[in-house]
Amino acid sequence: MGRFSGATGLVLGVANDHSIAWAIAKEILGEGGRIGFSHLPDRPDDERQRNRRRVALLTDPEPNAAFLVPMDVSSDDQIASVIDRGRQEFGTIDFVIHSIAYAPMEDLKGETTNCSREGFRTAMETSAYSLLAVGRMARTILSKDSAILTLTYFGGEKVVPGYNIMGVCKATLDACVKYMAYDLGPAGVRVNAVSAGPLRTLAGRGAGVEDMLGLYEHMSPMGRNITHEEVGKAGAWLVSKESLGITGEILHVDAGYNIMGSPGRLLNLVRKPGE
């Protein structure tokens, strides 16, 4: 009997086996939880259904993976359809994991100041508003003492060059977590976020994760980078009954990088001889 035996939930936005959401889902599945998954919709002209296929390779072998359906978070109808599928499959659910973010590459790569109006709207709607939309619809099937978890990043708290407009989106997402925690608290629903250090993920490649890995390794108090498994365990804990007193929090899983007010041990690498 695992700690998620009898628990059910939705994991929204797994892209492939490197996704943080999949690392969390694996922990839950491994401890008896049942999960319904969503994936990015495939283009109509993509006969190979690449997005679905990548996720299906992960979920098909899992006996506790209840379903896999496409979802475009810019469509309220599609969000509602996934929630309805969860209702049909489970009745009520105990957790929702939101792992959805996107910005047009031309807007993400350029200066934040130069982000286009349409790019800003798309990035903000997909990366931040989608949490509100999912939470609003999921509250109808969330059980008491349930949890919503989203994934954020330190670039929403401090300037991280290269993260650009996505940092603005994550700052908004962080605020959404806190206000949703207040709104849903009386119903016994907790809302939290995990802020992971850099990991090799599909989203991370677009945000320059390779440049960040060396920096975190030298600056973090633990002197290393984190692993997918560490984030997976932390995220699973936040949606488990072991964290019932926690809501509105951003849990940093970054080997302590976020506490640093100076480059720390990195200075030892840049000091000139004799200094």
Could you give the residue numbers annotated as active site?
Answer: 153, 163
- In whole angstroms, how large is the CA radius of gyration of the chain? 19
What amino acid occupies position 94?
D
The rounded distance, in Å, linking the Cα atoms of 87 and 143 is 11
What is the sign of the dihedral through the CA atoms of 201, 202, 207 and 209? Answer: positive
Q: Is 208 left (phi over 0), alpha (psi -120 to 50) or beta?
A: left
* Structure tokens that stand for 55 in this block: 């996720």
Q: Which H or E element spans position 181?
A: helix 165-184
Contact 15, 55 (CB under 8 A): yes
Closest CA to 35 of 66, 13, 58: 66
Residues 6+ apart with CB under 8 A from 187: 139, 142, 144
Burial class (CB in 10 A: 0-12, 13-18, 19+), 44: exposed
The rounded distance, in Å, linking the Cα atoms of 45 and 105 is 21
* Angle at 56 (CA atoms; ends 15, 5), nearest 5 degrees: 95
* Angle at 11 (CA atoms; ends 6, 159), nearest 5 degrees: 135
